[in-house]
Structure 1
Amino acid sequence: MADLINILLRMALYVDLLLLFGVALFGLYNVGTTLRFRPMLRGMALIGALLSVAGLVLMTRAMSGETQFAALWPHLQMMLFETDVGVAWAVRMFALIVVMIWPGLWLASIAGALALASLAWSGHGAMDGAWHLLSDILHLLAAGAWMGAMLALILMSRLDALFSEAQVRSLADAVKRFEGVGAAIVLILSVTGVANYLFIVGPTLGEVLLGTYGILLAIKVVLFAGMLVLAALNRFHLGPSLEQSLRDGQHQVAANALRRSVAVELGIALLVVALVAWLGTLGPDAG
């Protein structure tokens, strides 16, 4: 039961910080959008801080075996002040506080990136040296940029948000701007994904794919391929259809189709994050 709670907590924290960074970044390269970014970002930062506190307490409790707060407190102090996990936690909390109190998107994006990168300091990459850690961080940032854009596009494509031609044009422009960003994201995710596999497992398949770790990793790759198919559909069909709808004056069908496709894409991304949270509790030799 404790393992399940740990996995669910890790998943929730990953999703929150991925979206925090991604939504802030989306706001930077889509200045004209009508989305209200600041309330969303502040809410995500607050949730991230609460989840981080809960995660630290749960981890310390599992490692120490203590259940009473009075007995747990010295172990929490040791975790905070004497471990790399504590340093990463403190940096994350500082970054999240910055997001909550500072109004600018530039600083929110940088702080969100720092908070998200702190997750890599407690993963496999933190144990294998600087190059693996850098690869993990780039992987997280690219995934966050993708997930944040998906959430923003879903919110922008709601029919109750498309009152005028200008708002439909804003959505179409946002989809078009994401084309170049999306290509860079896919490239980074692919390269760092392969690099991380090589860092963790090595240049071999061996018996890894027959164990729990390998099966989960294979499922993750299949889901990622499904996301690529949907991204291609959005890029080459649904995006142009939305632009065509501006000329025809009938944008409801195109906006609905785009929203459904991106929503499915985001749903798959959440499954991938769940697998990442699970994989983070296992080693490549897990059977």
Structure 2
Amino acid sequence: MSSVSEGSFRRSSVPSLTPAPRRTLLRTDDGVRIEAVYAPCTAGAGGTAIVVAHGFTGSVDRPAVRRAAQVFAQRAAVVTFSFRGHGGSGGRSTVGDREVLDLAAAVAWARSLGHSRVVTVGFSMGGSVVLRHAAMYAAQGAVQGTMHGGRTEARTDAVAAVSAPARWYYRGTPPMRRVHWVITRPLGRIVGRYGLRTRIHHESWDPVPLSPVESVPLIAPTPLLIVHGDRDPYFPLDHPRMLAAAGPAELWLEPGMGHAENAADDELLGRLADWLAGE
């Protein structure tokens, strides 16, 4: 749940991606069309692809997502996509539930382009999605392939969750109470659709999906990184600490950082890219 309003975001001095990115429409296993963009590594290397999962109300064309992709592309190829209900993708947002299928389609596409190593990074809502995805598609996990007939092309080789919640239904901060109003109230969903360009499904979760903290123990042996700012206005520090304590994980607590992709500066994005690329 990135932010109900993007507000100010950090700008990058990184030059535009070259060569030109490639756009496509993917289809998820439940039939939703997802817009996606592929950008090759600007340094010429091509072994690893980083798949970026944006926060709530984000999309491939939001400035903060483009900026992150530009920094990541200096170390690896990059796939960005818009979750269902966001940007040019179809469907309606389920705020972290069926979005696992969107990420799986993007990861499978990256592998189909010839990348032997595909890794995922998610911000806020996207952070919860990458954790659930890594658990469900873990190469040696007990639940591998339960939604996809045993296919493994959608698995990730490493996962980083930035500004992710540990548990569902958290309303302990004013920003999260506003987010829940947008998601759960008819007027809020109208605001989401026309004010935030995010189409939100009106149905409640049934069943409630596995929470991020419940997903973490299922991710091993896939490398896991948890990143969180100590000035995050949405989720306090008990969330990343709970996630890191739930299973083998590396934890970065970033001094002075706010929330998600809007708050991540180029230095942090570069460190993230190095970690994801295995450097």
Using the size of structure 2 for normalisation, the TM-score is: 0.31
Higher relative contact order (CA closer than 8 Å, sequence separation 6+) = 1
* Larger-Rg structure: 1
Question: Which structure shows the higher strand fraction?
Answer: 2
